[in-house]
Amino acid sequence: MMTIVSARQPCWNDVEHTSLNLLVTFEETSDSLGEIPFTASPKDPEPHGRELFERAVALEYGEIAEADEETLKDAVRMKTSGLSALASSMIAKLQSDLSTLQDSVALGMATDEEITQLPMTQAQLDLWRKYRVLLSRIESQPAFPRAIDWPTQPE
């Protein structure tokens, strides 16, 4: 765990206030790095990250500024990118599964279970495709980046 010497200028990273940025000096790196930018979160894997977030929320480092427009855009784009990557991965898997099911039907080799699975797999694929398209339209929402209507992720 890093020892916090000082922290200042807390600023939210997103509208939801799930993480914040600060300028922090740690005892262990003060000579080599000095004051460094740090992102703190209540879900930080490191104890000092969680501690910095808790202390900042308690206003120990001053009032927390709201994120500027560019910071909000970057946060939304990062979240969208991660969700889109997940959607693309699910789509690739479902396309592969669907292709195999279609082959088994076309070749007259399909089991009853595969015949039943075919329309369900197609429906699931369509849901993930729709989700990915909706994610691609996040930036065109009227209140972007201050208010986002996130699409519901398929199950």
Could you write out the DSSP letters of every residue in 45-99? SSHHHHHHHHHHHTTTTSPPBPPPHHHHHHHHHHHHHHHHHHHHHHHHHHHHHHH
- Residue 3 DSSP label: P
The whole-number pLDDT of residue 96 equals 98
d(CA 152, CA 155): 9
Radius of gyration in angstroms for the set of CA atoms belonging to the chain, rounded to a whole number: 23
Confidence of residue 90 (pLDDT cuts 50, 70, 90): very high
Cis-peptide, bond into residue 142, ω within 30° of zero: no
Q: Work out the average pLDDT over 87-97.
A: 98
- Is the pTM higher than 0.85? The answer reads no
Q: Work out the average pLDDT over 87-114.
A: 97
Domain parsing of the chain, residue ranges: 4-57, 74-140
The whole-number pLDDT of residue 1 equals 82
Give per-residue pLDDT as tens, 13-54.
Answer: 988 899 999 999 999 999 999 999 999 999 999 999 999 999
